[in-house]
Amino acid sequence: MVRPYTITRGRTAPERDDFSLITVLTTADGAVDEHGTPLRVGRLQPEHRMILDRCRRPAAVAEVAAGLDLPVSVTKILLADLVGQGLLLARAPLTVARASGGADMGLLAAVRDGLRRL
């Protein structure tokens, strides 16, 4: 357990706690600091750089954690670092019902009835 402790610099919880396992992450284009200076990725830890590389295409928190072979709790701390620096964007996942234009009540009723029969 020494490695996760050193990766997170002793932190046990992320600064922001709004990440779920299916929160979608993408690398931000042209991230700048509060003075408008482009952020330098080279000063990040290797795990931070691997996250940014993995998130060039949208990825869920669970996918990133599995790719890093780190516990989800440790991964969330690293993700919060990157979101806080403006290098990573996080958004809540679209619900299936909203993405398809609404919930199919017939399908929901069929699932309910099937569960009741169990």
Adjacent-strand bridge partners of 26 = 89
pLDDT tens digits along 18-65: 788 888 899 887 665 555 555 665 577 888 888 998 998 999 999 999
For residue 114, give the amino acid letter. G
Instruction: Choose between 36 and 116: higher pLDDT.
Output: 116
Is the pLDDT score of 8 beyond 70?
no
pLDDT in tens, 54-96: 998 999 999 999 998 888 888 898 898 888 888 898 888 765 5
**Where is 73: in which H helix or E strand?**
helix 72-84
